[in-house]
Structure 1
């Protein structure tokens, strides 16, 4: 397959891809909104017991982790059934579940009710996060998958920016209820579009033996089916495939890689306003740091994904983890506000932006029969780190640990993430028509052969 074949797609494919990218991106914008909006209301909950009850710092950290426990349950549940029932059904169910739970959270009057609803919201978030990467991997052209995946998952930090902006525009009293009620908007504005415009994956249909439906949908959407084979009873599907000899070790390492990225993502989004507040910055400035963190992730994540398409995501992810470690350590130097904001933006690239790349790496690492399970494992097991993030941050804050030491602890997690990434084995997806791309070099076999021939002729 030559490079032009990799690059050129039909008009039908392009139109279908635009709808898929738009729908999945907006979905993850609201997921990111949910991720950050809790961090914006934590200071208000701590100061005003009349909202949901008297809340200690440790309890605030636990409340932050409940949604992440739900995300883990939702992601793993989606992975358990996603490779069996399809991507579209999971996306639709996730949007409904998430929106309803988010809206109900705005009416909570006790810590218990709020915690239960945060857990239920997380289930919907987990299903959506775990499925979006599988959708992108099966609809996007191979040489642009990392860029499209970064666009979609950049919806998460965009949602974080949206949450921080809305928190700046509303303050005091019951304004937090408005913030949570806004999170139910997908039920009204996104679900109808999804029902009309989001197709099932033709590659998934073919892999599950629905050949005629796959061909009909391929003709209508312009998605090439290629050589994907039907999944037989002898071929392991979903989580069973992850335990096979081919995927067992990589699955463990990819899970640890995601765990590191999500610990940093959730710890910083939950506790950065409070940590910077303890450093002498008021509420408005503290929320500006959240804007810088997520804004840096949006811009940096897309730029890094372009590099990932050229050189392979594994190298880029290792580099961004290292970048996060250095930026977090430099935050301890007591620099001027402008420099601190710049470093927080760089930390956003190395934490939230890195997690964007991780999802793309994982989605393209697995074949169709294991893709939803692989991404779900990454999102679900990784949430152990996400659950630990608010808890670790809460423990550090409640113990009176200085912001400097907290940043050093987070930098250590980033270093661990870089080391784990280095040991993930190379994997070529030779079983699919558009695969065979080495996930470290980023080249297809034909491209690698041309490079080798050119080097040999020198």
Structure 2
């Protein structure tokens, strides 16, 4: 009897390798994304670079604007150089950009670092999702992507601990130096991460793809028909023909409000909790609890949507998010606040995902990718606006309205997604379960 592992075992090992490497990359993505919010209370209290709340809001928007650029260009760049190379480039970019923040001597240089980091952060996540989708075992793609998404929130948890352990005794620059550490991970990706099978097939490197798929008993993806620019514009125009235009705008508005809420809270949670009178240590603990809720929410939302329907879950989730965020504007006992922060994290971080699920399910197969992509893209303008809005409220001494404003964004998304879902019957052909997760943030 041969002692060599079976094809099934080798396939599982390859899937575990790819998912594990991508999970670590997304962990570093989350760390870099959340580190700014975690150190922000210290930056404001010490008036580093003369920073004020409104300037802090601008800085938060720089990163999210960079993410918008990165997300919109990731697909085109990946099609040219490959998903593996793009992942390596993104990790390198946001790591070096954090180093620029660490050595910056002015607000302008710090802002440039955050913008460049955002480009890398925005390009990494959709690329990593594409990679794990290629190598996920049959029937487990949605579960695999859901597990990958937990890494982003694990990075948020890590950012809070980095801030707690380093900022007070060493200084805020040390926190950004930690975000340079992922550079050491680049050689690991170069050596062990295989190229995307979809990319190899699309580039006509079928022999290479077939050999890799056969070696690990992975199903070779079918060659997708290339879409021309005219095809893409036809798909976009289809979203506005007949009565579709109102539904499309409602989905876009819901996505705008949803990502305004997600990134507004992610950037300003520690600072707003500090303004409510909580100690800095407690404010950073809330970041940990919030992201723990995000992990739980990502694992729960999909199952709930399968049972009750994605549109209904999205609307209910946003309502519960708005209630939780609104409660945070009231100073409560620390234990009660911790519970509210956890539940808010559960609902907030997966409510936006359910918008994509709704759009995906209710679109036709030939417009689905365009519908989800544009809903995500428009929503990212909300991601830019959210951090800016929090800064403006604090700068005008209306910081107590911060949580209220974010709660109203949740209410608006609940209304928009609810109306859009009621106006359109469910399509007879459902989207793949993983489609809705591809652009979840």
SS at match of 1:154: helix
- Alpha-carbon offset, residue 299 of structure 1: 2.1
CA distance in 2, matches of 1:252, 1:23: 38
Post-superposition CA distance 1:94-132 (Å, at most 9, x none): 111111111221111111110111111111111102322
1:189-338 correspondence to structure 2 within 5 Å: 190-225=185-220, 228-232=222-226, 243=236, 245=238, 256-308=253-305, 313-338=310-335
Post-superposition CA distance 1:28-51 (Å, at most 9, x none): 2122112221112222222324x4
Give 1:72's match in structure 2, choosing from 68, 73, 89: 68
- Alpha-carbon offset, residue 311 of structure 1: 5.8
Contact 1:73–1:380 (CA under 8 A) maintained in structure 2: no
Change (3 A) 1:93 1:60: same
SS at match of 2:194: coil
Q: What count of residue pairs does the alignment treat as equivalent?
A: 422
Contact 1:207–1:369 (CA under 8 A) maintained in structure 2: no
SS at match of 1:280: coil
Post-superposition CA distance 1:291-314 (Å, at most 9, x none): 221121112222223434666655
- Alpha-carbon offset, residue 351 of structure 1: 1.9
CA distance in 1, matches of 2:167, 2:281: 10
CA distance in 1, matches of 2:17, 2:118: 25
Over the aligned positions, Cα root-mean-square deviation in angstroms equals: 3.6
2:348 aligned with 1:351: yes
Post-superposition CA distance 1:184-217 (Å, at most 9, x none): 11110x2122222322332343345443333223
CA distance in 2, matches of 1:361, 1:10: 34
Change (3 A) 1:382 1:372: same
Contact 1:76–1:377 (CA under 8 A) maintained in structure 2: no
SS at match of 1:243: helix
Contact 1:324–1:414 (CA under 8 A) maintained in structure 2: yes
Contact 1:74–1:126 (CA under 8 A) maintained in structure 2: yes
Change (3 A) 1:310 1:385: same
- Alpha-carbon offset, residue 388 of structure 1: 0.9
Deviates more, 1:88-97 or 1:78-87: 78-87
CA distance in 1, matches of 2:379, 2:20: 25
Contact 1:40–1:273 (CA under 8 A) maintained in structure 2: yes
Aligned to 2:167: 171
Contact 2:360–2:435 (CA under 8 A) maintained in structure 1: no
CA distance in 2, matches of 1:279, 1:11: 53
CA distance in 1, matches of 2:305, 2:396: 40
SS at match of 2:103: coil
2:95 aligned with 1:99: yes
Gaps of 5+ in 2: 1-6, 437-441
CA distance in 2, matches of 1:311, 1:207: 37
With the length of structure 1 as denominator, give the TM-score of the two structures.
0.80
CA distance in 2, matches of 1:127, 1:167: 25
Contact 2:270–2:287 (CA under 8 A) maintained in structure 1: yes
